[in-house]
Amino acid sequence: MDLRPYVVYPPEGPRPPRPEELRERAREIARSRRQE
């Protein structure tokens, strides 16, 4: 039994977004909030 504390995502599955993408999304959200 090989128990691992973390979940190993299969290479075929969707990969988590990169920090750069998260920053771009945060900027878009900030812009939409400022305009309102």
Q: What angle do CA 35, 25, 16 make, to 5 degrees?
A: 160
Tens digit of pLDDT for each residue in 1-36? Answer: 666 667 766 667 667 778 898 899 999 999 999 987
pLDDT of residue 30: 94
Question: What percent of the residues of the chain are helix, what percent strand, and what percent coil, each to the nearest 5?
Answer: 45, 0, 55
Residue written as token pair 């999304």 = 25
Q: Would you say the pTM of this structure is higher than 0.85?
A: no
The single-letter code of the amino acid at 32 is S
